[in-house]
Amino acid sequence: MYRIRVPRRPEDKDQTSVPSEGRTLRDKNSNSFETDFKDAVKLHDQGVKGDKDAVRKAHDILSDLYLRNTKNQLVQAYFGSATSLLGRDAVEPNKRFKLAMEGVKLLDDAVSNEPENTDIRLLRAYVCYRLPEEYFHRTETALEDFGYLISRYEREGGGFEKGLYLQLLLDY
């Protein structure tokens, strides 16, 4: 059985750090952060499209990267998104809710640490946008992030592709 535990930051002394089982990294001691992160993002994106196996693999890689780089907010945001995707794919309702909320908490923390980071805002916007409002009450957060991203694009004349800007306008 596949057990998930959200790893805690080393500075969280009250809680133990228990990484998830079933690691898929080629070499946990490898210094290939960039390669592992790129692989995790590709798997994450496949998971967003519905590939449950890719979600589990992305989560495992991102969990390891997060433990090695607790100050990297983009890694934390992708880890949060992957955790929420695990919630999406869980069968048991309590587990679905718990994983989704753990993911949102990681995303909220990443945004609060780097509120100007458009990649982090984009991840949180779409995670919150897809959560059922009846249970999670995150639509306002999604709209806030969409509004921020649209405003920033219009103010700075870019920062991301025009196609994404147009999609944000549709989703807002």
Annotated domain spans of the chain = 33-171
Q: Report the 10 Å Cβ neighbour count for 107.
A: 29
HSE-up (13 A, CA, CB side) for residue 131 = 31
Per-residue pLDDT of the chain (172 residues; tens, 9 = 90+): 333 333 444 343 333 233 333 444 444 545 589 999 999 999 999 999 999 999 999 999 999 999 999 999 999 999 999 999 999 999 999 999 999 999 999 999 999 999 999 999 999 999 999 999 999 999 999 999 999 999 999 998 877 889 999 999 999 8
The whole model's pTM is what? 0.81
**Cα R_g (the chain), whole angstroms:** 16
Class in CATH terms, 33-171: mainly alpha
Residue-by-residue DSSP string for 39-70: HHHHHHHHHHTT-HHHHHHHHHHHHHHHHH-T
Q: Are 121 and 149 in contact (CB under 8 A)?
A: yes
